[in-house]
Structure 1
């Protein structure tokens, strides 16, 4: 296999197809905004909304950026599900433009850039991240921004981008510390395949310093709180690691779409054949190995798949069967839209293939009913019991739902032992009655004078369906002594 010659600094880039790429980005953003109210809140959105009501430099299970996006969104646009989805839609629009720019950076002409934009707009991961406020949403934009600048350094030798890379990387740590995996994987690639001369560039080390300074408050929070991100990673690996490893390879094919994956294979080959871009080619398998070892989720390498796809579009634009490629992307895009977006009516989602494939979709239907059904149990309490009652939520999604609709349904204050919420402390000692959701009655009966199951949640496609609602009276010990028993990370 003959290596492609390194790209020189003086090579002129093809014109940017701003009209086409911008048009695809704008149309996708408008589509995402139009369908944003069709399903309800996802459990993570309710959690980020709840965390955003308590601004902090860090939370036990997540850095502060996504909760702050939730807080700003509700402040600007109202306390609605549509408000939380404005930023995700805009992020996906920006991502589409960035991937088109990446294809241009790799030498792609207008056809390659349009193919890259269209393939991103119809990919499963960008559509899911654009419809729902998830940590994935800002990650894709921040990571892709870093990759575009890295390519500029590798292909053009333009070290002026190192300080900007450091700045964006530092900001990215406030969303997820996984940006370190991207940088470390590319670093391994540079050490193995070059160009090692970049290590002699003082601007690289300036960029590293900027990244550390920007990330310092987040790092200080981690150090002073026992590195909670490592504790959460261990908990997630223990809970879901086996399943993540089983689904890792199939989801590499499906996270963008089958045609995008095939084009991504061509992209990996293109990056490998160019000595200047072998580092990002090596970075993908390195990141996959780390993710598999740690039991991380397959979508952790989503940004890697996107840059492989962008590189592949440069090759695919010149294929003889380009029309077949475009047709395959169109068919895949239609299927991905059905899977990723709220196309299937909410009433028909339970038991459908979409609910099986897309966890985000099935967990976005029924959270309002969670609050409504628990409110019915609260209303059965006597006035005296209601005055002394609190809610005890088994997970953060339930806690977020109770907080969101507390005013609508007259719900008492909610507490939870799940993740960050445990650190917010136990109920007051005056709380003598508990309506507990998603707790085993035997666990509760050992801690309260009397407990009885009042019913169970029902009629929803997600994991809340069937969880018990238990009413307990009179704690046997002070809450501050029982609270450690309630803590769980997942």
Structure 2
């Protein structure tokens, strides 16, 4: 139960750390199954190109991915250690926030367990992407904000921690700024408003902005390309985009049908606390405001994930108390948890044979699963086409990929030295900003879907040499994509390159 105004709860139970450890072990067991995700290729390559920012993301995760890849190489199991640890830390936050609520040890353990059962934790903790690190950093910033607002008298340490963690989160995804603005709106509506009269929260905001400044200044200097990409996501341009009509149901699915009950109970409890003693209702208000903005503007279903540890901590106590009062309730609770685990694992982790009926079922709510298979075959197909190019033409040939996934996979395959490929270029997102090929590159192996009229304007002739084929039963976005041999580019790259640019 959330008891306002009391001292911080008992020491964090060992069970919270055990719960997080079990999650990390589960993620590592399957970490090497299937293959790299398109985003993982892209982040490694992006981090290998030093820059202040990229058009679609700040640079913190790309640098982390590139540095870790330099240590462990293409060992997929080792490469995914860091996101698994981030997911485990996210689970610990559920217990820590329960401690801030002065919850009992059983309630803290329930908060951590509920956080670990979230479908989004398994789905994102399995992949080295921005989402799992954004979830962790932003949820940790909310934890610090909780501590800052409840401290009496107001102390500098939690406010500085809040500012630093928010700034770090904004160097992972700018989404963290929107989360904090929604929380500020919740504080203005439900309180406590008195801490805002102090200089401490505003100095924390300055710290966050200073840390986030490199990405923000780069975006401003380049015309805010991230806004263009956000519009593309809202219009369904991303494989994980969600229509506004389906946003709430898909969000509930990414939480988990059973665990959704804990979240709803948490929101209701926070909102219904007595008005004069409501020191935590702003969390629920901020969450609901955030959902309303998502529905109005469009977004992805995982965007509210930073709120979940706190809402799980608020809702877990009543659920634990209700279950523990009767033997039949304990049995029912255990069955529901077991069913939730089975369903969540099947829909989020690579546990079924590629192309099987159950694999296809999982791809419905989790299309990222299909983006982790087939890349080795795609690389071999392009390499076969490259090997058939006449030797005298090879010095003038590049690979021109239609999207960052294709470009990232081919770039790393070439850089690894195990696959003979021409230099790889693309106009998609950060690849475009790294510049055009040399003017001597008159021919190209064109990979992926380009409009025919566009290719005819760029090259004197193009012939189909192959198609990318995904494993049987996997209908991902690369399946059937053409691989063409185009010769005699019709204009200098200085004129052609602006036409190649594609954000999204």
Q: TM-score, normalised by structure 2?
A: 0.92
- 2:405 aligns with 397
**Which string of whole-angstrom CA distances, capped at 9 and with x for unpartnered residues, describes residues 439-490 of structure 1?**
2334212221111111211124221001111111010111211111111111
Q: Is residue 482 from structure 1 mapped to residue 477 from structure 2 by the alignment?
A: no
Unaligned runs of 5+ in 1: none
Residue 234 in structure 1 maps to residue 231 in structure 2 = yes
| Aligned counterpart in structure 2 of residue 418 of structure 1, from 428, 431, 447 | 428
CA separation of 1:12 and 1:373: change in aligned 2, threshold 3 A:
same
How far apart, in 1, do the equivalents of 2:337 and 2:48 lie? 41
Q: 2: CA distance between counterparts of 1:285 and 1:29?
A: 30
CA drift of 1:256 comes to 1.9
Measure how far apart 1:108 and its partner are.
Answer: 2.3
Say whether 1:379 aligns with 2:387.
yes
Greater CA drift, 442-451 or 359-368: 442-451
CA–CA distance in structure 2, aligned partners of residues 351 and 336 of structure 1: 13
Deviates more, 1:231-240 or 1:384-393: 231-240
1:463 aligns with 2:477: yes
Distance 1:193 1:128, change over 3 A: same
**1:39-71 Cα shifts (integer Å, max 9, x gaps):** 100000000011011121201111001101101
Name the CA distance, whole Å, in 2 between partners of 1:123 and 1:331: 13
| C-alpha separation in 1, matches of 2:153 and 2:25 | 36
Residues 342 and 361, structure 1, Cα contact 8 Å, conserved in 2: yes
1:165 is displaced (CA, Å) by 0.4
Alignment correspondent of 2:364: 356
Query: Does the CA-based 8 Å contact 1:85-1:132 persist in structure 2?
Result: yes
| 233 and 156 in structure 1: CA distance in 2 versus 1, 3 angstrom threshold | same
Post-superposition shift, 1:105?
A: 1.8
Name 2:114's counterpart in structure 1: 119
Deviates more, 1:164-173 or 1:149-158: 149-158
CA contact (8 A) 2:3 2:103 kept: no
Residue 28 to residue 220, structure 1, CA distance change in 2 (3 Å): same
Q: Deviations over 1:231-266 (max 9, x none)?
A: 322232234498431321112211121111111110
| Matching residue of 2:309 | 306
Contact 1:103 1:311 (8 Å CA) reproduced: yes
> Larger deviation: 183-192 or 97-106?
97-106
Residue 441 (structure 1) aligns with: 452
Aligned partner of 2:251 in structure 1 is 252
CA drift at 1:16: 3.2
Q: How does 1:4-43 map to 2 (within 5 A)?
A: 7-8=4-5, 11-43=6-38
Structure-2 change in CA distance of 1:205 and 1:243 (3 Å) = closer
- Mapped to 2, the partners of 1:354 and 1:65 lie a distance apart of 30
| Cα distance in 1 between the residues matched to 2:272 and 2:289 | 18
Moved more, 269-278 or 13-22: 13-22
- Partner of 1:405, secondary structure, is helix
Q: 1:83 is matched with which residue: 60, 75, 78?
A: 78
In 1, Cα distance between equivalents of 2:184 and 2:330: 34
Q: How does 1:118-267 map to 2 (within 5 A)?
A: 118-157=113-152, 159-160=154-155, 161-240=158-237, 243-267=242-266
The residue matched to 1:258 in structure 2 has which SS? coil
Structure 2 unpaired stretches of 5+: none
Partner of 1:101: 96
Select between 71-80 and 270-279 the one with higher mean Cα deviation: 71-80
Shift of 1:80: 2.9
Conserved 8 A contact 2:429-2:501 = yes
1:451 equivalent among 435, 459, 462: 462
1:386 CA displacement: 2.2
CA contact (8 A) 1:6 1:155 kept: no
CA shift for structure 1 position 118? 2.0
CA distance in 2, matches of 1:466, 1:158: 64
Compute the displacement of 1:318 (Å): 1.0
SS at structure 2 position matched to 1:136: helix
Q: Normalising by the residue count of structure 1, what TM-score does the alignment of the two structures yield?
A: 0.94
Q: Give the 5 Å matches for 1:281-296.
A: 281-296=284-299
Distance 1:42 1:169, change over 3 A: same
Assess, with a 3 A threshold, how the Cα gap between structure 1 residues 6 and 262 changes in structure 2: closer, same or farther.
closer
- Shift in Å at residue 84 of structure 1? 2.7
Q: Is the Cα–Cα contact under 8 Å of residues 402 and 428 in structure 2 kept in the other structure?
A: yes
